[in-house]
Amino acid sequence: SFKTPRELDMNLVNAQQTRRMLDRMVGYRISPLLWAKVKRGLSAGRVQSVALRMICDREDEINAFIPEEYWNLEADLLLKGNKKPLVAKYYGNRDSKGGKAVIRNKEELDQILSQLEGCKYEVEEVKRGERVKKAPIPFTTSTLQQEASKVLNFSTQKTMRLAQQLYEGVEVKGKGTLGLITYLRTDSVRISDEADADARAYIAQNYGEEFVATQTVTQKGGAKIQDAHEAIRPSDIARTPAVVKESLSRDQFRLYQLIWKRFAASRMASAIYETTNVKIGAGKYRFGVAASKVSFEGFMSVYTSEDDEKDTNNVLLKGIDEDTKLTLDTFDEKQHFTQPPAHYTEASLVKTLEELGIGRPSTYSPTITTLLGRRYIVKEAKNLYVTELGEVVNQIMKESFPSIVDEHFTANMESLLD
């Protein structure tokens, strides 16, 4: 860059200046109004006030929610030679083309049960197939914050503090100070060719050729990505978590391990599940059983998320076909009510801010920290709740500065600046 200086790009300079002026207009002009109207020490901000509004809106949705009743019906069916019964879920009428039918109340349920009395249970169809689960993409700032919150229960602030330490460098025995990960503020999933080649070689050597990805996942998402930095990855794949464990604190180690595993998995082959779907007829009704089992682990030998674990239910219906004889053992009926939308957690708030294009990777954590620090919101068991003070401030902002707390204004501003 020094040898071949280029012209300054004044568009970039002006975009940065505009962003700064906007931040100050909102922050410097509105905060004193809040001091006068509510109390000293409060603040408004271009991203912060939108985030507060989103949390308040979610709280309103939860308060306005009216739960609805529904029932689940399962039939435990016995197969010859099998000790464990087969659990089949009620699906609806045999001839209905639509999806799963909902049982709305006890009367409907009792009517179905009375019509099922004395019915024979017959296997109508057995479908076997396979399902492919693609490897995850490497971490960006926002996905790292979300995953560390879900898996390790770290706040976004803690995740960023630890990642900063891993990036700046850690004293590793016999090696001096080493930066263990690449830059932590990024919204790109690009990986350098060199790191990609190293990772593939490492996987082939330690897991086997069949575990190396044939195609890698590229960036999903719109044009909001500023591709200045790579994704967050270990600076050297050969430095496995076990190698550096002695040199790291417990939390540094847990975060490094998460980043290392996710990056390794992103260069690995998809996982493959064997699936079996069985349709069972009884009188005019239909029940269904779905089962799946991992047949090739692929990336899941390194990295599984909570969702992957929910995916396997191991009743693999080996010997079942259209001639299998089934007898009813018992019915299992449960009453449920629909649930209101969930409160925001730090992870889901970061995800939503990113999806709406509000703020940049470097602003998610300070935004949440500020909202907590000003006592606009409180955190209880991961959930974010709005305080009375937060409601008052949000009300003033919505009435007096509607365009500023409109999420489209901030998102649109970002894209205009880009």
Query: Catalytic residue numbers?
Result: 183
Q: How many residues does the chain have?
A: 418
Which residue is listed with tokens 């939503």?
Answer: 352
Using CA atoms, how far apart are residues 261 and 234, in angstroms rounded to an integer?
Answer: 9
Is residue 161 classed exposed, middle or buried when 0-12, 13-18 and 19+ CB atoms within 10 A define those classes? middle
301 closest CA partner among 407, 390, 191, 211: 211
320 closest CA partner among 58, 125, 150: 125
Using CA atoms, how far apart are residues 355 and 325, in angstroms rounded to an integer?
Answer: 51
Classify 180 as helix, strand or coil: coil
CA distances from 412 to 120, 277, 401, 404, 417 (A): 61, 46, 16, 11, 9
Token pair belonging to 108: 């409907």
Q: Which residues contact 244 (CB under 8 A, 6 or more apart)?
A: 170, 172, 180, 253, 256
* Cβ neighbour number for residue 98 with a 10 Å cutoff: 7
296 beta partners: 272
171 beta partners: 177
CA–chain centroid gap for 61, Å, is: 21
Using CA atoms, how far apart are residues 372 and 345, in angstroms rounded to an integer?
Answer: 12
Token pair belonging to 357: 């294009």
